[in-house]
Amino acid sequence: MSGDEDVMTTAKNFVRTRIINPFKALRGRVMLEQAIFFGLIVANAFILWKTLTVVSGSESPIVVVLSGSMRPAFDRGDLLFLTMGSSPLRVGEIVVYALPGRAIPIVHRIVSLHESRSSGKVDLLTKGDNNDVDDLGLYPRGVWWLHRENIIGRAGGFARGAGVMTIAMNDMPQLKWAMIGGLFLYVLLNRDG
Amino acid sequence: MPLHNVAHRMNVVLTTAFMFLLVLVAANWLSHFALRAEPRLAVSVAKVNILTREDFLPRLPDMSRKYQPLRRDVANVSLAISMDLTPLFHWNTKMVFVYAYAEWPSKNNAVNQIVLWDAIAQSADDAVLEFPALGAEYRLSDQGFGLRGKTLNLTVVYNRIPHTGPLEWREYPMPSFTMPADYSQ
């Protein structure tokens, strides 16, 4: 009988401290400890990202492919690792470029290139492997060439389908908030490490 | 606490599975160096079909935002292509993108590069390409009027896309070709 009561007490405690008012069990120092722990996790992720940025030389070293314009090489949800490097850009390279007034960067291949003798400036024209025409129609009005400053990174590595979670979270924002909330609660309530 | 035990165990299982997957990916990538073999690639310019000039400058300054100012030589060539990319296909090859490009220096530009032709092979079954005289997919265009009588270098490159791992580019120089001394009639 006493065994059953123990179980009941434990269950009641669990419901009271973890479900009805999870914060009741965490007071003072414990709360502070949790906050620091949570901060550490966020800081770790940030440090990892910034280290990758420094090593790769690209401002966003990992991108997820969002469109099918590079099929069959890259599909939606594939992960690309970008580098920048100082070597000259060449035709046939796959680059990620950003255009003013366009929120989402584009992953396409360089098909034409002209490098000026005097200034060293490069004029680039890109095209998606799966597109019938080059990207002139995507560039803003009056822009006929891309330049090095438009390039965010050059594709160096590839992982098929490794970014499907990002696609899912992009399509369903609720999922993103559920995941962030879940992670937050998990870290906050998980006192036993 | 039982609930926590389940979560904890799941965490350990997932972490182990993920580490195992990473090791497999690394092994898969390393195996490429043992499996790699040389493909056979041969491309040459069979014929320069046309060499002409485009001379278009929008009259009003405002119009250059709508119409591209074009002052350049353009050419269209036919290529003789013979290649066997079969050796590139193994378990970590998703597809191979192969292309030929022309390169030449000009008065204002240290480097001009134009892709003339490309093809995609998705399996060893469609990796043998034989075209005795194929009209190039893309036009060859200069910045300015410098193509007449010019000798251009031709290069073939394959870009191997793996399932996971680094992308691979390899270049093969091909015989250069010379443009006609004057524009086509």
Indicate yes or no: CB of B109 within 8 angstroms of CB of A114. yes
Q: Residues A10-32: pLDDT tens digits?
A: 888 777 776 766 666 556 777 78
Q: At what angle do helices A29-56 and A173-189 cross, to 10 degrees?
A: 130
Q: Is any Cβ of chain B less than 8 angstroms from the Cβ of A119?
A: no
Indicate yes or no: CB of B111 within 8 angstroms of CB of A94. no
Q: How far is CA B86 from each of CA B35, B89, B93, B159, rounded to the nearest angstrom?
A: 12, 6, 11, 14
Strand duo B128-135 + B70-84: pairing:
antiparallel
Closest partner residue to B161 (CB to CB) among A113, A123, A158 is A158
The rounded distance, in Å, linking the Cα atoms of A42 and A50 is 12
Q: Residues A67-111: pLDDT tens digits?
A: 999 999 999 999 999 999 889 999 999 999 999 888 889 999 999
Report DSSP letters for B34-93, one per residue: HH----EEEEEEEEEEEEEEEEE--SSGGGGGTS--EEEEEEEEEEEEEEE-GGG-STT-
Q: Which of A79, A85, A23, A25 is nearest to A58 (CA)?
A: A85
**Which residues of A are the active-site residues?**
69, 108, 135
User: Residue A4 is which amino acid?
Assistant: D
Q: Does domain A62-162 have CATH number 2.60.320.10?
A: no
**For residues A41-59, average pLDDT:** 94
Tell me if A76 sits within 8 A of A66, measured CB to CB.
Answer: yes
CA quadruple A141, A83, B105, B47: dihedral sign: negative
Report DSSP letters for A132-186, one per residue: SS-GGGTSPTT---B-GGGEEEEEEEEETTTTHHHHHHHH-HHHHHHHHHHHHHH
The rounded distance, in Å, linking the Cα atoms of B60 and B73 is 23
Q: In a structure prediction context, what are the per-residue pLDDT tens digits for chain B, which is 185 residues long?
A: 556 678 788 889 999 999 999 999 899 889 888 888 899 999 999 999 999 999 988 777 677 677 888 899 999 999 999 999 999 999 999 999 999 999 999 999 999 999 999 999 999 999 999 999 999 999 999 999 999 999 999 999 999 999 999 999 999 999 999 999 999 98
Indicate yes or no: CB of B94 within 8 angstroms of CB of A160. yes
Closest partner residue to B167 (CB to CB) among A72, A142, A157 is A157
Indicate yes or no: CB of A156 within 8 angstroms of CB of B166. yes
Q: Which of B120, B81, B92, B85 is nearest to A130 (CA)?
A: B120
What burial class does residue A171 get, using C-beta atoms within 10 Å of its C-beta: 0-12 exposed, 13-18 middle, 19+ buried?
A: exposed
The rounded distance, in Å, linking the Cα atoms of B116 and B136 is 6
- Give φ, ψ of B84 to 5 degrees: -130, 105
Confidence at residue A190, expressed as pLDDT on a 0 to 100 scale: 66
Tell me if B13 sits within 8 A of B20, measured CB to CB.
Answer: no
The rounded distance, in Å, linking the Cα atoms of B170 and A110 is 16
Closest partner residue to A72 (CB to CB) among B95, B105, B162 is B95
Nearest CA in chain A to B99: A92
Tell me if B144 sits within 8 A of B122, measured CB to CB.
Answer: no
Indicate yes or no: CB of B111 within 8 angstroms of CB of A115. yes
ipTM of predicted assembly, 2 dp: 0.91
Q: Is any Cβ of chain B less than 8 angstroms from the Cβ of A136?
A: yes
Confidence at residue A191, expressed as pLDDT on a 0 to 100 scale: 58
What are the residue ranges spanned by the domains of chain A?
2-56+168-189, 62-162
